[in-house]
Structures are given as C-alpha cells and as structure tokens.
A and B are shown apart, each in its own frame.
Chain A
Amino acid sequence: MTTRSDEADRLWAALGDPMRIRLLDLLLEHGEATASTLADAMPITRQGVSKHLAVLERDGLVKAHRSGREVRYAVRQKRLDQAGTALVRTAARWDARLAAIKKMAEQAAKGRERGS
C-alpha cells in the first residue's frame, strides 16, 4: 500500500505550491527554458526558481539537461500523465471543499460559543 498513496502524496506535495504550478505552466508553454528565463517571468528570484525546479526534478516532474553552459529544464510529460488529470482535479477540489467546510464549521462553532 506504500506505492500509490505515497506516490500520490508526493506528487500532490510537489504540485501543491502555486509557484511550482506556475513554473510547470511556463514550461508547458515554452517547451524548455533555463532558470534565468523562467525567473524573468516569475515574481520570485532565480534562486527561488532553482529551489522549486529542484523539487519538481526530484519528483520527476521536470528533467534538466545541459546545453553548452546552460542548464535547460523541460516537463516530463509522461510523469505529468502519470500524476493524472483526474488526480489533480479531484484532489484540488477536495482540498478546496475541505477548506470551505473548515471555515464554515469554525465560524458556526464560534457563533455558538458567543451565543451561549
């Protein structure tokens, strides 16, 4: 049982950051890019971009290859396919739904305390 849920959790953790999602977006648009090029299109520093790319690379979502003096990054389509559209959509929706339930329940509980 380690495989699927651990795998899914790791993928989800890798995808669960808006900056990393933005990076994947940019890479999907451009095919491949260097950390500097990506940083130009992002509200974070090149170091920040590199850190996020390292996470994505560790979980196999992007691959790096050296081209002369540059390191270029590209999305590993196969890995993204594995992560699965359904997984992202469903997990993200449940996270949003659970967050909404949390907000509603905590407000209701507070209201109840005040009322008593």
Chain B
Amino acid sequence: MVPDAIEREIFIDAPPSVVWSIVTGAEHLAGWFSDEAEVDLRSGGRMLLTWRQHGTYEGRVETVDPPRVFAFRWQTREGEFTETNSTLVVMTLEAEEAGTRLRVVESGFATLPWPDEARARYADENARGWLTELDELRDYVAQAVTANRDR
C-alpha cells in the first residue's frame, strides 16, 4: 500500500516571520531539505533541488502566501517534471502563543506511476527494503542531529 498523504507537524519557539524565512529561503532550504537549492519564490516559479548523492530534481512553487502558506510540487522520480511524477507539499504556519505551529502535508503518492516492474520488485524485496529503510531512517535522524549540533 502506498499511502496518499503524509501529515506531520511541529511546534517552533520562533515567530511565523522567522519560520517563514527558514522554510522559503533558498539558502535555508539547502540546510533542511536538499544540499543545494534554487527557488524562484512566486507561484509557478521553478525550484531546483540538488542532493549530492542523488542528483538534481525539479520542483514548482504553487502557493506563496507569507507568512502562512508555502506550497510546492517536487519530483519524486527522475525525468522531466510533470504533475504526475511529482507530489504536492503544503506547509502551513500558524501563530501559537509566542511561537509557530508548522504543519506539512505531502500528498499524491497514490497517483504516482508505478511501473509493473517496480511494483514487482517492491513486493519481492519488501523485507530487504525494510531493512534498508530502517537504516536510512537511522542515518537520516543521526545526520540531522549531528548537523544541528555542529551548527
């Protein structure tokens, strides 16, 4: 089963204006999302997200409503950017006490094309896939923790 939407949220002890600059600024995106980022911050604007290990993926800015909503689509597979090979990420900032509640919803997984071959491989390698995913998860969290400590 590929879920259609993921929702996560976090409370941040900083006002929405500060969170907005971190969420949308290309120099900051390169800190929390990709390794390098180019963003044309307006609706329809192009995004280029580069991961040293995985290459460059294209995205498109959908909504810029500072400091409340930032939405974009980004490619989850290689190839040319289209609506059907991308997922939609909607980030919502809401003032809460002296800080900000930041929510993210990423959707569109169910509509991603799954070639039969990939689907079969996914089924076959499920157990192995899980081991890899869990490793990846650990690495990712460890990396984030280290990166934050070093900063």
Contacts and interface: CB of A to CB of B under 8 A. Distances in A.
B3 A84 contact: yes
Interface residues of A, number: 40
A69 B130 CA distance: 31
B120 interface: no
Contacts of A80: 126, 130
Given A21-B137, A109-B14, A101 B131 contact: no
Given A24-B134, A92-B140, A98-B8, A108 B3 contact: no
Contact of B18 (A93, A99, A105): A105
Contact of A84 (B2, B14, B28, B143): B2
Given A25-B134, A96-B144, A100-B31, A105 B10 contact: no
A96 B137 CA distance: 9
The binding surface of chain A is classed by DSSP as helix
A21 B102 contact: no
A108 B21 CA distance: 10
B126 A98 contact: no
A114 interface: no
B60 to A, nearest CB: 19
A6 to B, nearest CB: 11
A61 B33 CA distance: 30
A105 B22 contact: yes
A60 to B, nearest CB: 14
